[in-house]
Amino acid sequence: MNGDKDAIFKALSDSTRRLMLDELSDRNELTLYELTARLIMKHELSISRQAIAKHLAALEEAGLVKTEKKGKYRVIIFNNEPLKHLLEGWVK
């Protein structure tokens, strides 16, 4: 479980990844295009879809997002379960 916690904390340490989770928590699922557009337009980030894909890999490794193919689109789905268990033992 410590490896999982390390991956979660590492994923959360980056402000862009936290913004991505903010956007996904608002909508629960977005396509890569929708997420990129929201980050660029709403948060004025200068970021490519390739850079976002790298951030998504870190979030997926931590279990914070899942991706599914829906038709011709790749849909990114927020998974908050790892966050619910992150602070167990510290916060009672």
Residue 75 placed within a domain: yes
User: pLDDT tens, 6-46?
Assistant: 999 999 999 999 999 999 999 989 998 999 999 999 999 99
Number of structural domains the chain divides into: 1
d(CA 67, CA 85): 21
The enclosing H or E element of 66 equals strand 65-70
pTM: 0.87
Question: What does the DSSP assignment read for 19-41?
Answer: HHHHHHHHHSEEEHHHHHHHHHH
End-to-end distance of the chain based on CA atoms, in angstroms? Answer: 18
- Rounded CA-CA distance 70/5 in Å is 30
Domain span at residue 6 reads 2-85
Q: Find the CATH number of the domain harbouring 71.
A: 1.10.10.10
92 lies in a domain?
A: no
Tokens representing 24 are: 């996904």
- Identify whether 67 is part of a domain: yes
Residue 13 placed within a domain: yes
